[in-house]
Amino acid sequence: MNRAPLKRSRILHMALMGTSDLSGEAEASQGKPFLLRALQIALVVFLYWVISISMVFLNKYLLDSPSLQLDTPIFVTFYQCLVTTLLCKGLSTLSACCPGAMEFPALRLDLRVARSVLPLSVVFICMITFNNLCLKYVGVAFYNVGRSLTTVFNVLLSYLLLKQTTSFYALLTCGIIIGGFWLGVDQEGAEGTLSWTGTLFGVLASLCVSLNAIYTKKVLPAVDDSIWRLTFYNNINACVLFLPLLLLLGELQALLHFAQLGSAHFWGMMTLGGLFGFAIGYVTGLQIKFTSPLTHNVSGTAKACAQTVLAVLYYEDTKSFLWWTSNMMVLGGSSAYTWVRGWEMKKVQEEPSPKVEEKNSLGV
């Protein structure tokens, strides 16, 4: 009788805490030579870094380039969703035609499934739109700080939805992240580069990332636990829902008056942005598969550090010591939270259950 509530509770817990069952993958990787596994991990991490960093810089160019002067962030996001949808369908067709060449799930539009995925799609749209709007209004160097509150929202939602408390050490790391966020906002303001609009979009994007994790876990059974089917339905729903927004916000009209509308370079960059958007989902899954969710978080934190340094160098910015301190607080707090959560999960796994302890005490 209590099966459904327990299942929902476990789904929310896995989504918010980042837990995953990777025992099968770990056993499979143990059979490979160490050098081969090390090379595979290095290649996957390298791909993740290159694609993720390139995507951020390319999106910044499309959203806020003085040479383009294109003020249509919703259309840019819509087009990237459209490219992802077409890529999913194309790879599905190719897999059906050449079953030995590649593996990709069969994709067929089912309106019933699309309706089941719709709540997640609304959160997904908010997440990618707020991400792009944040990037439009803030610099790439401040982008990671502006979106740094995802961990804090994970802890907050775990309490509000699960009534689950968080350890003192985990809360301490969240305090470091919040402190780094506010110091970063203060320093951006002191340098005259602060955008309150971009910062607000960053906070909303962080909230939506947490909500997206929750709804993804809940909706996966509707698509047979296939991430690619979920990606396909998510992006189809997003394309449909973006259309009225494009009309209401007047972006289609602005696009018609865009000077480079017929430029092959412009559409090439737009398509490349869509390809990166598709590829980041693939390489993220690969990185988790070849390492672990916790290692993926550490890699993402290190990537964010490298991305910040590259942005400062590329745009020839001059940043104060306190500005760098804010970044180190955010990145250090995020890394510490990942380590604390990993340590706590390992401790729970190593502790014997109460029933086992009771049996041992009775000599059974």
Nearest to 128 by CA among 227, 276, 27: 276
Question: Alpha carbon of 78 to those of 234, 267, 282: distances in Å?
Answer: 12, 13, 20
Residue 260's contacts (CB-CB under 8 Å, 6 or more residues apart) are: 68, 70, 266
Does the pLDDT at position 179 exceed 90? yes
Nearest to 209 by CA among 284, 113, 305: 284
For residues 260 and 74, give the distance between their C-alpha atoms in angstroms, rounded to a whole number.
Answer: 17
pLDDT tens string 26-54: 444 556 687 888 888 889 889 999 999 99
| For residues 169-194, average pLDDT | 93
Q: Is the pLDDT of residue 2 over 50?
A: no
d(CA 298, CA 318): 27
Mean pLDDT of 233-238: 94
Decide: 18 and 341 in contact? Cβ < 8 Å.
yes
Retrieve residue 107's tokens.
Answer: 């994709």
Cα atoms found within 13 Å of the Cα of residue 206, Cβ hemisphere only: 24
Closest CA to 227 of 117, 96, 101, 110: 117
pLDDT at 190: 93
Q: Say if residue 207 is exposed, middle or buried (CB neighbours under 10 Å; 0-12, 13-18, 19+).
A: buried
Q: Mean per-residue pLDDT for 231-236?
A: 94
Report H helices in the chain: 3-17, 23-30, 34-64, 73-97, 111-137, 140-146, 150-162, 168-190, 196-219, 227-248, 251-256, 264-290, 293-314, 321-350, 354-362
pLDDT at 23 over 50: no
Give the model's confidence band at 187: pLDDT under 50 very low, under 70 low, under 90 confident, else very high.
very high
The predicted pLDDT at position 25 comes to 45
For the whole prediction, is pTM greater than 0.95? no
**What is d(CA 312, CA 302) in angstroms, rounded to the nearest whole number?**
16
Amino acid type, 327: N
Residue 336: how many other CB atoms lie within 10 Å: 18
Q: What is the pLDDT of residues 285-321, one digit of tens each?
A: 788 778 776 677 778 888 988 999 999 999 998 899 9
Distance CA 52, CA 302 (A): 12
